[in-house]
Amino acid sequence: MTLQPGIRGSASVLATHENSAAAVGSGALEVFATPSMIALMEKAALESVQPFLSEGEGTVGAEIHVTHDAPTPLGLTVTATAVLVEVDRRRLVFRVEASAGGEVIGKGSHTRFIINSERFLQKAMAKHTQQ
């Protein structure tokens, strides 16, 4: 199997206090938070391509451009979808969208990079010795 445009993925979560704007600190209201929506979009993207990667590979988020267009009250299920629209070597670009209660609540684009997981973690951990 090979990575190619058209690969799709989705992820869902129930809007609860734990992922509300009040709980994550992005606002004061008990509604589904923008950072929670973004995390769900990223999850949909990463899970869509993971089966196509080699052992030891993963993806990391690098860029996201989204709008959060409608509020979501607690108790509704939020579903994010991701469609791979571009593959440029290790760079993957997705069209992402989130919906709840029958309406689109957010949309945009998301870029991820394919990485060697072990090397990536080693590079991150090396920052401890640089202090």
**Confidence check: pLDDT of 128 > 90:** no
**Per residue in 68-102, pLDDT tens?**
999 999 999 999 999 999 999 999 999 999 999 99
Q: How sure is the predictor about 131, in pLDDT bands with cuts at 50, 70 and 90?
A: low
**Per residue in 19-66, pLDDT tens?**
999 999 999 999 999 999 999 999 999 999 999 999 999 999 999 999
Q: What is the CA radius of gyration of the chain?
A: 16
Cα dist. 38→26, 42, 75, 86, 129 in Å? 12, 6, 18, 20, 32
pLDDT score of 50:
96
The residues annotated as belonging to the active site are 34, 42, 68
**Domains within the chain, CATH numbers bracketed:** 8-128 (3.10.129.10)
